[in-house]
Structure 1
Amino acid sequence: MSTVQAIRIFLFYLLLSTSALLWCSLSFFIAPFLSFKARYHFINVNWCRFAVWLTAVMLGIRYEVSGAENVPKQPCVILSKHQSTWETFFLSCYFEPLSQVLKRELLFLPFFGWAMAMLKPIAIDRDNPKAALKQLAKQGHERLEAGIWVLIFPEGTRVPAGQIAKFSRGGAALAVNANLPVLPIAHNAGEFWPKQGWGKRSGTIRVVIGPPMYAEGTGPRAIVELNDRAYAWVEQAQRDIGALPASAPASEAAAPF
């Protein structure tokens, strides 16, 4: 990494963290008086758009989206590949309002976590998988009925670029029980914003939105089939954009939800 690039990355994180502190602090005084949709737009959409813009300006990481015509009008369950922090920013402002499945510990972070708590996330305890599945089923269904997108990273955690992990069935189960589709999303953000370390590489992230996928029937078999179909689509899409080698094996899933 060159000295210039290291300085740009340092300034990027400085500006990103400072903006988060200021924006989250401001949100405490304004957001509680807004409706949920207005609150979501004020807190999450505005700041996440800034984060994506800052990433492009400071680090030269831009993006292009294909498959935007596949996005249904009615909110559903989003099953996205997870490689970095970038897609969290991007998806949070591309789909609104959106409820994200996340570790409940994140809500305890000063300022950022407190603001996140006002956005109706599904904050699960990863140390208690059974309770997490029940919580996802209950709160996820409530969010969908309220017209809120539900974002799930079915691999359970960020998976390094060039790899793919098995999909947990929680998202597919949620979609089947709500009689709604899953919307698969593939991307190669990890090639430019790696899972580990501070290093970043300029380039264009390719985001591919797949067709909405409905279950063929109901019950456990329909859930398994839908989950396998979504996984197969994401895996093939990752290969098509060059983000997954032809012989890349699937790694183990990080969590059963």
Structure 2
Amino acid sequence: MLIIRNLLYWLLLCLITPPMFLLFIPAAFFPQGANKMGRAWALTLVWMLKHIIGLNYRVIGRENIPAGPAIICSKHQSGWETLALQEIFPLHVYVAKKELFKLPFFGWGLKLTKAIGIDRSNTALASQQLMAQGLARKNEGLWIAIFPEGTRMPPGTKGRYRLGGARMAKLFGMDLVPVALNSGEFWPRNSFLKYPGEVTIVIGQPLRHDSAEPEVLMAQCEAWIENQQKQISGIGPCARAPHQGV
């Protein structure tokens, strides 16, 4: 039954994505139009995950979402959060490696939504791209979402937290909102199968952009996220022993 549900999910994903992408193009001519179409696509997939796969989620700390634009600094374990964050937070753009823009439909959609594309092979250039494009997105009234470890990490592991999110917070005057989650325990990295269950996502109190220097801000963000990870890990069918360093 699990395989059949996953086959149905992937079939519907392939059927709805091309026609929805066609709507991105005219929508891009309107302010935040492509972003709204991107959210509609993401919410459609979240609905499919809930009703076809049986993968639901619960949010702890929703009251910590600030009123004004902020920087979402999230743990990254699977593709689930790239979809579900669109349902939980106001309109935002992601920081992504620019190579993703070449992917059919998904990457093209990222490009149209003005995702912040960075060159991860060139650290200095990536920092410049992050600051220039991030400021432009803030001026358009959009939030910014960043995965500080830079890539998806398997459950129970931790990568190196980079300073880009904290530097944007300082430069743009945007608070940092830490997010912990255990999505990888239900949607493993690079896996065809997604498993039923309930993802837990925890939203922390915003870290004020003017409360500390970037290094301290990111250290505080990392400490909070990793402490929360210990509390919500080990639940899903694909869980690993919590927090083996990598």
TM-score w.r.t. the length of structure 1 is 0.88
User: Equivalent of 2:51, from 51, 57, 68?
Assistant: 57
Corresponding pairs, count: 242
Query: What is aligned with 1:167?
Result: 161
Query: What is aligned with 1:196?
Result: 190
Q: 2: distance between equivalents of 1:150 and 1:91?
A: 11
Residue identity matched to 1:197: S
Q: Map 1:1-257 onto structure 2 (within 5 A).
A: 4-28=1-25, 30-36=26-32, 38-41=33-36, 43-215=37-209, 222-243=213-234, 248-251=243-246
Q: Where does the alignment leave 5 or more consecutive residues of structure 2 unmatched? A: none
Q: Where does the alignment leave 5 or more consecutive residues of structure 1 unmatched? A: 252-257
Q: 1: distance between equivalents of 2:161 and 2:231?
A: 19
State the 1:101 CA deviation.
0.7
Does the CA contact (< 8 Å) of 1:176 and 1:215 recur in 2? yes
Residue identity matched to 1:14: L
Residue identity matched to 1:208: V
**Identity %, equivalent residues:** 37
Runs of 4+ in 1 over 6 A off after TM superposition: 244-247
Cα deviation, 1:182-215, whole Å, max 9, x if unaligned, reads: 0000011000001132122210001111000024
User: Relative to 1, partners in 2 of residues 1:117 and 1:215: Cα closer, same or farther, differing over 3 Å?
Assistant: closer
User: Relative to 1, partners in 2 of residues 1:98 and 1:9: Cα closer, same or farther, differing over 3 Å?
Assistant: same
Does the CA contact (< 8 Å) of 1:99 and 1:151 recur in 2? yes
Cα deviation, 1:91-134, whole Å, max 9, x if unaligned, reads: 13332321111121222223332232221110111211210111
Q: 1: distance between equivalents of 2:192 and 2:96?
A: 22
Residue identity matched to 2:179: I
State the 1:245 CA deviation.
7.9
State the 1:216 CA deviation.
5.4
Q: How big is the alpha-carbon RMSD for the aligned residues of Structure 1 and Structure 2?
A: 1.9
Q: 2: distance between equivalents of 1:217 and 1:6?
A: 49
Does the CA contact (< 8 Å) of 1:64 and 1:204 recur in 2? yes
Q: Matched residue of 1:63: which SS?
A: strand
